[in-house]
Amino acid sequence: MVVTVAAVVSTSINLGNWYWPLLAITVSWVSLWLLSRRVKEVMADERDFMIAGKASLWAMRVYSVIAVVIGLIMYTTSRDNAMLFGTATVLLYSACFLMFVYSILFKILYRKNNHD
């Protein structure tokens, strides 16, 4: 499913269509949701959740550092290139947004776990 969505999105971008990727993502999301409803039992333990938490934390950290470094380099070297400036701005704001969302969710989940 991932390969199909990637192929549709990349082909549609080359053709300049925006509706095919939106349709492909929606159809794949609904298909995965319908398939997940058929699953009766999931085998997972605390270790799986701990590893998933560590992996997501490291993914957030790595993305933030890489986006900020590349964004700052692009930002400082984009005096004459508006596209480079826009890309740098998107990278820097996305890193800020990711860290902001992480902070908010951490506080919410921390309070929820302390009340249980």
For the chain, the average pLDDT equals 89
Provide φ and ψ at 41, rounded to 5°: -135, 135
Q: What is the mean pLDDT of residues 76-85?
A: 89
The pLDDT of residue 115 is above 90:
no
d(CA 19, CA 23): 6
Is it the case that residue 64 has pLDDT exceeding 80? yes
Domain limits of the chain?
A: 2-37, 46-115
Give CA–CA dist 54/34, Å, rounded: 29
pTM of the model: 0.62
Question: What pLDDT was estimated at residue 116?
Answer: 60
pLDDT in tens, 10-22: 888 888 888 888 9
